[in-house]
A and B are shown apart, each in its own frame.
Chain A
Amino acid sequence: MGKFVQLVVDGLSTGSVYAALALAIVLVHQATGLINFAQGGMAVLSAYAVWWLTNRGLPLVAAILVAIVLSVVFGALVERWLMRRFERGDPDTAVVVTIGLLTLITGFAGWLWTYNNQQFPSLFPLDTVSFLGVSVSVRSLGTTAVIVVAMLLLQGLFVGTKLGLALRAVAINPQSAAFCGLPVGRLLMVGWGLAAALGAVAAVLVAPQLTLTPGMLDNALVYALAAVILGGLTSPIGVVIAAWIIGILENLAAVYVPFIGFDLKVAVPFILIFVVLIVRPQGLFGRKTVVRV
C-alpha cells in the first residue's frame, strides 16, 4: 500500500511536468492555432541557461528567475522573428518551422555544451517525509506544488487582469481583436513568452531527475502531446487532468505490468491515445469544433 501511494505521488509530480509543457502547447495553440513542437527544446535551452548561471556562481533560485525572464524574451523573439511570417499561411508549413527550430535548438545546445549528461542542481532536498505511515519524496511534492502554483498564477492572469482579457480576445478572434485596437502582434509575443516561461519551470523541475541533455524533453514532449490530445486542445483543465492521469498510469504500469516495465512506459500514453481517438476523437474534455465552409 505504501508503495502504491508513493507511486501515485511520484506520478503526480511527473504528470505535473507534462502538464506544464502541455499547457504551454495549448497556450500557443490558442493564440496562433499551431502546435509548437519546439516547446520542449526551448525549455531545455532555459534549463541550460540555469545550469550555466549556477556554474558561474549564481544561487539556484536567482538563476532560475533570470532564466525565466530570458525565456520570456526568447519566446517573444521567436514569435516575432520566426513564426510571425508563417502564422497566416499554411499550418503545416508553420509546424515544419517549429520542427526546424527544435532541430536548431537541439543542435545548438549539443554543439555548445556537448551531448553528454550534465548534473543539474535540485531545487528540493532528496529527503522523504512520512505522511500517515507512507513515505513520499519531498521532490515530488515540491514539483507538484510549484507547478500547481504556476498554473494558478496563470489562471489569475487570464481571468483577473486586463492583459489576460486582451490575450483571451486575441485567442478567440484575432481580426476582431485588432479592430478593437488591441496590439495583436505584441499580445502574441506575450503569449509565446508566457508559454516559454511555463516550459522553463517544467524543465528546471525535471532536469535533476533526467540529468541535462539536449534531447532531455523529447520523451516529455510525447507525453505532453498525448495529454493535449487526451484533454482536448480547447480545454486547459482537461489537459492538466489528462497529464496527471498519464503520469500516474505510466508509473503504475511500469511497476505492476511486467511486460511494460520502466523502459516501455512511454508506450502507455500512446495506447491511451489510441483508445481515446477511436472512442472519443474530440478528447476527454474537448468540444467538437465546427468549421464553416
Chain B
Amino acid sequence: MASSPKTSSPKTSASKTSASTTSAPTSSATTSSASSFRQRPWVRWGAPLLLVAGLAVLPLVMTEGANDTLARIGVFAVAVLGLNVVMGYTGQVSLGQIFFLGLGAYVTAYGVQSGWNIVLVFVLTCLIPAVAGLVVALAAARLGGLAIAMVTIALPIVGVPLAKRLSDFTGGSQGLSARFVEAPEGSGLYDDQWQLYLVLVIGGIVFLMTSLLVRGKYGRAFAIVKGNENVASSMGISPYRYKVLAFTIASLIGGVSGFLYMVVVQYTSPETMSFGHSIELLVAMVIGGAGSIVGSLLGGAFYVIVPDVTNAIDPSLTALLQGALLLAVLFVLPGGLVSLPRALMRRLRRSPAGRGSAAPPTTPSSTPGSGTAAEQSETERQGHA
C-alpha cells in the first residue's frame, strides 16, 4: 500500500529479504528429526529409486480404467505445474493456462494428421505455445498488479471462437482426433500401458526440470518478484523480465501438457480450452497447494477425480462443489492440501503447550489479516516453503 509510513517501510523490506534467505535453515531446524532421517544417504537415494521402480511396475498391474485415470492425472498435473510456475512461484494470477494446453493439443493433432515426424511435432508443441505465451506476457506484464489476470482471462474466451473459426487447422466445432500412440510391436504392452509410460516419462522429466528451476537462481528471483517487486528491482532483478520469463515457461509446460493430452485423450475440440476448464485448473492448483511441486500432483488428481466423483452423484453439482471447496481451503488451509500434514503437526504440537493459556483458535498461517507486515511475510514464507 502506498499509504504505509515511510519510516517503517525499509524495515519491512529488510525483514522480508532476511525471511526469504533464512527460511531454509529455520524450517529444517523445526523439523530436525524428520530431516535427519531424510538426510541419510540410503534414504536420499533409495526413496526416489523406490518411487521410480513403483511407477515402472504400476502400469503393468493396474486395470485399464485405473491406468487411464492415472494418465489423465499426469496430464493435468503437468498443466497445473505450469500454472504453479507463474502463479504459485512468481505470484502472477493467470486465468489462461488452459489455452496453452488447448494450443499444444491442436498443434499435436494437426502435426500428426499432416504426417510430420513425431519429434518435430513435440518440439513445435513446446515452441508454439511458448512463443504465444511470450507475446501475451510482453504486453500483459507491462501493467503491474493484476493486469496479467485481467488479460489472461480473455485467452480462453477468445480461444474458443478462434478455434471454431480456424476450421482449416482445427476442424471447427467437430475438433480433431489423432491416434498416434500405439504400443510398439514385440513389447507385449497394451496401448493404455504404453500411454501411461509415455505420460510418466515425459511428465516426470518436466517435473524434474521444473523443480530444479524453481530451486535454483531463477526460482529465487521468482520468489523475490512475488514477495516484493520493489525489493527485486533494487537487487537488480527486473520484475518485468522475470514475470515474462515465468509466464513463457508456464506456457511451454502448458504446451507439453497439451501433447500429453493428445497422447491420452486422442481428441481435442474448442471445448478443451473453455473458460470453465481454465477456472477449474486454477481451483485445482490452489487446492493442491500453490508454490509446491507435490501440490501440483495433488492438483492434477483433484482436477481429474472430483468431476468423476460429482458426475456420479449429480453432474450439476460439480461447479458448486468446486467453488465451495476452493473457498473452504482458502479459509482453513491457505497452503493447500500439501500443507495439511504440517498444519496438523503444528496443531498437535501446540495443543499440549497452549493448554495453560488461552489456546489460539487457528494456525497462524490461516489468519493473514492479523499481525504486522513482517510477521505476515514470515508466515507466508513458511506456508510456501
CA of A99 to CA of B92 in the docked complex: distance in angstroms? Answer: 14
A91 touches B146 (CB 8 A): yes
**B314-330 interface code vs A (CB 8 A; 1 in, 0 out):** 10111111111011001
Residues in A with CB closer than 8 Å to B165 are 261, 263-264
Contact partner of B230 (CB less than 8 A), chosen from A92, A93, A106, A291, is A291
**Interface positions of B from 296 to 323, Cβ below 8 Å from A:** 314, 316-323
CA of A45 to CA of B146 in the docked complex: distance in angstroms? Answer: 25
Residues in A with CB closer than 8 Å to B119 are none
A229 touches B143 (CB 8 A): yes
B369 touches A293 (CB 8 A): no
Contact partner of B369 (CB less than 8 A), chosen from A85, A273, A291, is A85
Query: Looking across the interface, which residue of chain A has its beta carbon closest to that of B227?
Result: A90
**Interface positions of A from 273 to 293, Cβ below 8 Å from B:** 273-274, 277-278, 281-283, 289-293
Given contacts A35-B150, A269-B154, A277-B147, contact A100 B326 (CB under 8 A): yes
B3 touches A175 (CB 8 A): yes
Q: For the side of the interface on B, what is the size category?
A: 35 or more
A104 touches B327 (CB 8 A): yes
B275 touches A215 (CB 8 A): yes
Residues in B with CB closer than 8 Å to A101 are 323, 327
A76 interface residue (CB < 8 Å to B): no
B327 touches A82 (CB 8 A): yes
Give chain B's interface secondary structure class: helix
Given contacts A218-B157, A277-B139, contact A291 B323 (CB under 8 A): no
Interface centre among A84, A114, A261, A270 (most CB of B within 10 A): A270
Residues in B with CB closer than 8 Å to A281 are 142-143
How near does chain B come to A31, taking the closest CB pair, in angstroms?
13
B139 touches A107 (CB 8 A): no
CA of A99 to CA of B83 in the docked complex: distance in angstroms? Answer: 15
B279 touches A111 (CB 8 A): no
Contact partner of B153 (CB less than 8 A), chosen from A88, A222, A274, A291, is A222
B171 interface residue (CB < 8 Å to A): no
Residues in B with CB closer than 8 Å to A228 are 150
**A171-182 interface code vs B (CB 8 A; 1 in, 0 out):** 001111000000
Contact partner of A99 (CB less than 8 A), chosen from B9, B157, B279, is B279
B139 touches A97 (CB 8 A): no
CA of A222 to CA of B99 in the docked complex: distance in angstroms? Answer: 15
B250 interface residue (CB < 8 Å to A): no
Contact partner of A263 (CB less than 8 A), chosen from B142, B164, B326, is B164
**Interface positions of A from 98 to 123, Cβ below 8 Å from B:** 99-108, 110-111, 114-115
A105 touches B323 (CB 8 A): yes
CB within 8 Å: A-B pair count? 166
Contact partner of B283 (CB less than 8 A), chosen from A103, A176, A290, is A103
Number of chain A residues close to chain B: CB under 8 A: 64
A277 touches B164 (CB 8 A): no
CA of A33 to CA of B323 in the docked complex: distance in angstroms? Answer: 23
CA of A219 to CA of B154 in the docked complex: distance in angstroms? Answer: 8
CA of A278 to CA of B135 in the docked complex: distance in angstroms? Answer: 11
A226 touches B140 (CB 8 A): no
A93 touches B316 (CB 8 A): no
CA of A218 to CA of B376 in the docked complex: distance in angstroms? Answer: 34
B145 touches A91 (CB 8 A): yes
Residues in B with CB closer than 8 Å to A97 are 327, 330
How near does chain B come to A221, taking the closest CB pair, in angstroms?
7
**Interface positions of B from 144 to 177, Cβ below 8 Å from A:** 145-147, 149-151, 153-154, 157-158, 161-162, 164-165
A270 touches B154 (CB 8 A): yes
A222 touches B93 (CB 8 A): no
A96 touches B161 (CB 8 A): no
Given contacts A111-B320, A264-B165, A266-B161, contact A95 B368 (CB under 8 A): no
CA of A284 to CA of B380 in the docked complex: distance in angstroms? Answer: 36
Could you list 28 examples of A-B contacts with CB < 8 Å?
A: A85-B368, A85-B369, A89-B376, A91-B146, A92-B87, A92-B93, A93-B334, A95-B149, A96-B93, A96-B330, A101-B327, A103-B322, A103-B323, A104-B326, A105-B323, A106-B323, A110-B316, A173-B3, A176-B3, A218-B157, A221-B153, A229-B150, A266-B161, A277-B143, A277-B147, A278-B139, A281-B143, A293-B9
A residues within 8 Å of B by Cβ?
Answer: 33-35, 37, 82, 84-93, 95-97, 99-108, 110-111, 114-115, 173-176, 215, 218-219, 221-222, 225-226, 228-229, 261, 263-264, 266-267, 269-270, 273-274, 277-278, 281-283, 289-293
